[in-house]
Structure 1
């Protein structure tokens, strides 16, 4: 029966299925659907470096395949359609202009694109003019997730490219309607005016995830006062910040109007925010925190039901440490603490005194240790063991 339906009708049904797992389930339900859906699944998620001429050329010349792309990662790690499995390592030694032309043409056919991630690597140039964003704005109306990492690699920094231009000064900020936005960028020696970024974020009223990380050679912090004072996202759940700061008033305004936040990551060793302004009842949904331990006292006093504490960089603790009362107050909901190894512990100092105190303050938590990308957990009498 399905085979008798117009192709346009079947495509319209499939185009409204967002999850790859749901597409697979639909394919398993009917052999005819499986045959129709096979190419869609093959091109649903594409991941390739910018220099992979073959994939961009194929998508540029085959719009019927390009329009199936929902998730696009321009990074070194490859995830390509099966037809490319034998040549995935082949990189065409073409000029940046030629590759950029093919990439933009392919992008122009991706009318159902939902998510873009632009990574960084020596072989990945910074955005090729504003051509990429012009195409996205005109041809990708359903794009709602944008992840940009333009931190310069050591090779790029050694080259000291004068032509480097941050996406913060590009037409990327002319986009809008994002639900997830993540950006990590080097500021160089420039001062960042956040007005364009603020205007972009104001055009994203349904934002769920916001991740901003700015790196400055002199550790200068970027002020988010204007953004915190003017932006309001009723559905905001995840907030991750690094290299930024704000005033007491703007922080209080922002936190008090975003009770939906359940995850906060502050990617620094010492906080740059005035957490002491928190009041009881603020952050009522906060479940996960990563950042300086000094913040925990304020979070505990606000009564947040914290469950997960990540990358806690602990120094040797004493019984009278103010962290103790904070962990005791959070212990009814706290389920997991992930310790980050500081320099002193990496040199061989024992974790046992720290573990004993943490277990006394929060006896029911699972204690983990993160060393690089290796995760282990604490077992009494055995110490930290790998899972």
Structure 2
């Protein structure tokens, strides 16, 4: 047997071993309890703040560490409270069988795989339930997702995304696709793009109508369209509207959205602006946002003599920022634009490489500056560029400081002329003002522009002889027998005809010009095979003979009798005729050929007899549908022209040469017999058939001129003259003479409708030759066997 000391040592060792085993087992029990308490603590995240969680975890870790070292665990008061809570939650979990928080939250499964991608209604219900639980959470956990909940929310949003912007149209398209056998429909990716992408897409729409239709698709697109694009596509303002130009200078992105710019004349009378935006019924067009937020910082208080310098600076700076400009119009043909001359900004338009004119498709200028002779520095501009097309100062700008300009002059640099490949329409007109008119007008500056427009389709050059101050003030009296001052010479077109070739030109208008070489004009017209519309009012010194095959697709011509005859006599290279439909601008000399009648128009020094012209017109008159003459001498001229074009639908005989404009024609029967030979006739102008009656009889008293299709009240029919009660009341207030004229007009309307089955439009009794204001016409309306006439106002 072992000694007692050994027993005692062994007993103490066994006791200590049992104690160590007990302590280790207690440590394991504590770890297990703490491990069981951790999920309970995390489950209380919606009731306990984050700071309490951290303290509880630190207490558990310290207790476990002490137990592992063989020390008795002395949990703190907070730990003991947590421990009791954990024991209570453990017992509660064991009785209710709640899954761990990583699997469920408020009855919602947090696993994305448990939510089908093909069930958007269930995904929407789950997402709403998850969001509604956020406000009920305590402390800092309110309105916060856990990582698992956030991942589930992203998954649910992805399920709902293809169904957000579809609605009823999606179901309709889906049914259509199922019928046609299409498997799927692409999601509306355009609506999901950022605003910057949508803004870039809208920059490719130039028309304001297209932009409006794009914005009306949905509210999302409308927020992008208005007002950045819709209100900035068209800007019409005067040079004195400094606030408009300064606004465009400060906002480069808005200036890039301008597609059409019109510089209005300062003397133009504008209607009062509406409170909702642009001026209603007026020519000015200013963005609504600029009108509502009126900026008075740029209202000028400077000397009036220096105002045009300020206007010039801001206008030029705004122009330099309109890099996407497509249409530019300068002036209205009335007067100089508020002291700002076209020459001040012409360099910016025509010389700036990659600038304003480089992207233009339409240019319209009404100014006398274009017809000035070229200066020496302008003629040598093309020679200043290098051989490779580079210039000396390519890095310089026309305006040094665009935001707040400090200098009054625009720095002109020698730069390469812009290539105008996109230019399709050019309109150059002079004004009737004597101010700024050249004594010896030329087309040199216009030729320099045309040489770079190789794709030009429409060209108009109109020169208006300026009025002298004496003749401008003597408009009330009769016209003098001789001009008060010598007539200024008209520009020569010799260089234009010799050196300009535009292969894509379809519309050409040359008015009030002269040419010394008929061969140059002949070669010019023969080289442009694509011409469809030709308005040629050029004085030629010699007979015009066109080369064979000239103008094969000509549809409309407005010229003298000599030029039209040259076109009709010119044979084509193939055996077919020209599709000529409209012939206008000529007059018939009558039976007696007098020198005065041959030189009224002044197109050529050599005249041809009417018989030759009418014979050529008859040979190709099967396609002519519209005739507009300048004048005629006797009734035989009208009969001959009617006999040449039997299929005409529009006949304008002009005025009777050598006779005063009187009342209605006396030979109504003769006119109706002549017009009855035209079975397709719809409109007749130049002849007055109806008698003048007061506005009280027709009811045309207070019509708005801005509505060209407005209709006046009608008169009576031929059978029952007073069929309408209103007309009967009006007729009771008329004099005997007015009633007699009304009955006579009813008879005339009946005769015209009887002889000309398709006639609808004839002249009114008022003359509108010398005014550009809206005119009046008489329209014949057929209602069964009855015919009534109306007075309508139209724009001439």
CA displacement at 1:104 relative to structure 2: 1.2
Specify whether residues 324 and 241 from structure 1 end up closer, same or farther in structure 2 by C-alpha distance, changes over 3 A only.
farther
80, 104, 111: which is aligned to 2:286? Answer: 80
Tell whether 2:516 aligns with 1:238.
Answer: no
Which stretches in structure 2 are left out of the alignment for 5+ residues? 1-188, 266-282, 382-416, 467-486, 571-576, 586-627, 686-762, 781-786
- Partner SS, residue 348 of structure 1: coil
Question: Once the two structures are superposed, what CA deviation does each residue of 1:330-378 show, in whole Å capped at 9, x if it has no partner?
Answer: 554x443456568977742556879669836755342345633334556
- Partner SS, residue 313 of structure 2: helix
CA displacement at 1:272 relative to structure 2: 1.9
CA contact (8 A) 2:373 2:444 kept: no
* 323-332 or 91-100, larger mean C-alpha shift: 323-332
Tell whether 2:502 aligns with 1:288.
Answer: no
230, 233, 257: which is aligned to 1:41? Answer: 230
Give the Cα separation in 2 of the matches to 1:378 and 1:314.
Answer: 21
Give the Cα separation in 1 of the matches to 2:657 and 2:636.
Answer: 23
178, 197, 215: which is aligned to 2:446? Answer: 197
- The match for 2:733 is none
**Where does 1:130-141 land on structure 2 (aligned, <5 Å)?**
130-134=344-348, 137-138=352-353, 139-140=355-356, 141=358
- The match for 2:214 is 26
* 247-256 or 78-87, larger mean C-alpha shift: 78-87
Specify whether residues 288 and 56 from structure 1 end up closer, same or farther in structure 2 by C-alpha distance, changes over 3 A only.
same
CA displacement at 1:13 relative to structure 2: 2.4
403, 424, 445: which is aligned to 1:179? Answer: 424
CA contact (8 A) 1:26 1:33 kept: yes
Aligned length: 369
Structure whose residues are more often strand by fraction: 1
CA displacement at 1:68 relative to structure 2: 0.7
- Partner SS, residue 277 of structure 1: coil
CA contact (8 A) 2:257 2:324 kept: yes
Which stretches in structure 1 are left out of the alignment for 5+ residues? 152-163
CA displacement at 1:22 relative to structure 2: 2.1
Specify whether residues 41 and 361 from structure 1 end up closer, same or farther in structure 2 by C-alpha distance, changes over 3 A only.
farther
199, 212, 229: which is aligned to 2:461? Answer: 212
Give the Cα separation in 1 of the matches to 2:524 and 2:556.
Answer: 18
CA contact (8 A) 1:126 1:165 kept: no
Tell whether 2:373 aligns with 1:103.
Answer: no
CA contact (8 A) 2:634 2:656 kept: no
- The match for 1:112 is 324
CA root-mean-square deviation: 4.0
Give the Cα separation in 1 of the matches to 2:222 and 2:659.
Answer: 54
TM-score (norm 1): 0.77
- Partner SS, residue 40 of structure 1: coil
Give the Cα separation in 1 of the matches to 2:523 and 2:256.
Answer: 42
- The match for 1:374 is 774
Give the Cα separation in 2 of the matches to 1:59 and 1:98.
Answer: 15
- Partner SS, residue 223 of structure 1: coil
- The match for 2:62 is none
CA displacement at 1:199 relative to structure 2: 3.1
- Partner SS, residue 183 of structure 1: strand
- The match for 2:690 is none
- The match for 1:272 is 539
Specify whether residues 378 and 232 from structure 1 end up closer, same or farther in structure 2 by C-alpha distance, changes over 3 A only.
farther
CA contact (8 A) 2:554 2:578 kept: yes
- Partner SS, residue 430 of structure 2: strand
Give the Cα separation in 1 of the matches to 2:568 and 2:677.
Answer: 13
Q: Which entry has the higher C-alpha Rg, 1 or 2?
A: 2
